[in-house]
Structure 1
Amino acid sequence: MAALEPHSTLIMELFKTGMTHAEISCTLKQMNIVDCSERSVRRFCAGHDLKRKRLLADAALERILARSIYETGPSYGRKFMTGYLASMGLHAGEGRVGRFLKELHQPYHEFRRQGARNLNPAPYHAEYMGHKLHLDQNEKLVMFGATHVLAVDGYSSKIVAHSTMPVKNNLVIYEEIYRPAVVKHGMWDQVRVDHGREFFLCLYVQEKLSQYRHNLSRPPYLQTTSTRNLRVERLWPEVNNRVNYPLKQALVHLLDQEVVNMEDNLTKFCISNLTSQVSQIGLDRVVQSWNAHRIPGRGIPNELAANRCRAEVSEELLPCASVVANLYEQELGSSLTWVSTFGTDPFSSEEDRCHAEEIFAEMYPDISLLFNHVVNNDYAPFQDALISLIRLTVRYV
């Protein structure tokens, strides 16, 4: 075991990736490291208190997976489902998870087996956590008043902030994406976005704070075409398949049946309100699963991002959105849209709004169940809730 001590850091890193003792031994032999038999590796791990996390028993795993399939739908395969379990503190090997997924729901397994993977072969490089921060918006549900925005660290692929809003807006993106990401994880050397105007406020602050970055030789931000915003673009197919497309199918069905009228501002407001809330539930699950799942050849995003960015910045230098927006308009002489709405808020008083929200909450105390049904191709509960919300809102205006 003493012969392995000079390589202790390497062995610990390999162990954290989930490699077995035999796999670690094989990897070390390929690196021409002597005295690295499986037995030696096993003794080394025991001597350094490297223990595997206690795995779930088969019966418990089967029960938990049955519930998780109901929560996530057909598109979560063994890797993403393993990440979803890990995000809840539950640990099981990918092989076991894959076997149970096949046995528990054969149609969903066949659906995944026949699905094609979209791989982007373009080269990409980020040196460390905090090198590049990618921001991008997803507008697959834009016609129904729901837009997602993600912030992804380029090195770890960890989603460090996310939000869903009725319409993309500079102030909301700064307040709910850029600011919390920097406060929690530190200052990125460079922010990368497309050419959309909705990121202007974030880029303004990034440039203002550029002196606090780790590497000052890089430009504080880059605006590129969407196809070159690689890290975040890679995630949108995952979000679309697991969140946006099922909800869009349910909503388009209502349009086809002429049950709702998207020309009516009250209807648009209600659809946006509920769709944003329900899609945010699905997005939360995707983010948790992605950050806890293993990326082949790289590792787990949560673990890769554990060391934070190399530069820190005081929270006092990141004021709230309204303060930053005022500074932006005064300094640059440009105007920002402070509040973006989808449809028209129909409530004449806050009291009416509260009454309507209370009654709807009594009717649907757990809206996550609406997402569970939609993602499993059962659209009726979500559609019924939406119609109920529209009728309830009409009653109070």
Structure 2
Amino acid sequence: MKKIVILGSTGSIGTNALEIIRNKKEKFKVLALSGHSNYKLLIKQIIEFSPKYVSIGTEKGYGEIKKQFPNLKVFIGREGLKKLGQLVETDIILVSVIGAIGIEATVEAIKLEKRIALANKETMVAGGSYINKLLKQYPNAEIIPVDSEHSAIFQSLLSGKKKDVKNIIITASGGTFRGKTREELKNIKVSEALKHPNWSMGRKITIDSSTLVNKGLEVIEAHELFGVDYENIKVMVHPESIVHSMVEFNDGAIIGQFGVTDMKLPIQLAFTYPDREESPALKSLDLLKVKSLTFEEPNRKVFKGLDLAYRAGKIGKSMPTVLNAANEIAVELFLNEKIKFLEIYDIIEEAMAEHKIEEIDDLEDILKIDIATREWVYKKFGR
């Protein structure tokens, strides 16, 4: 019986993970859950899964949960997530919270040499070099990626040796606005940007997909997770979202992972690896119903997020932290209708230009730069 901690249980990844657990009760036990503000859903999850520990992001949620479950150990805020990362009983921790807030819990879990099912790309984007240094210090800790693209790469890499990898090919749906011109994107509304053609995701990641910043963050994450040079990480638009990513080897073979647009498979694999198991929660891909698979170059002139991420990744050190933090606040401002869609790129670019590059030696460095960047963006563009 594996004891699982789910950070972000009320989000898309978290609810999918609980569906996996619901269908595998003989194998998995929920040890802890965390949510941010959706305490009503979190309360329903507590009733069903009976966790030993819970963390919530708001005072109101904390009060409601404590009132209803007086004997439950309840934490709050950023410190609460860190506490859940420190639970020695844990076998697997799923980090699916959005943003740099997930880094601390990941660090704590590494120090306890746990398995981290990582669905928080900011951990490797903002703190990749530090996380990799920690993994060398705690060699029994392991990170199994949950993002569909990185899970696909992880699976494809099993087909050969690291030294024989020629290229990693990350596929992208193209987002909500694939094929649009910059002129057409000038006055895009929030409601339009949230209509992703293939995936049902949270608001922030849906906007990131539309700007291609999400794909840029995945490039940096792939570099940090798999140790492949940026020159050997390619991005290809694949509108059908059937091939989740690929690895090209030196002999010309391209190995990819095909599947339906459903996050449950990579979540379950992160829980069960190296085993693959059947589950009623998992859907099979019917290749006979797939009419065609198409691939095309991303339009980098319109969707500047990709090149901004490559630039930040190649600069390295503190710059990816700045990219990530500036993007998070820019997306928040757009969702709150404070800025226009294309201004997301302007904010990221200006934040990167303003930043004086620093070395990242520890978690405090990451958090300091993250907070400073957010404050700078709010002050200049918060209106």
Q: Which bin holds the TM-score, normalised by the shorter protein?
A: under 0.3
1 or 2 for the larger relative contact order (CA 8 Å, sep ≥6)?
A: 1
TM-score normalised per structure 1: 0.26
TM-score normalised per structure 2: 0.27
Give the structure with higher Rg (CA): 1
Q: Larger % of helix: which?
A: 1
Q: Larger % of strand: which?
A: 2
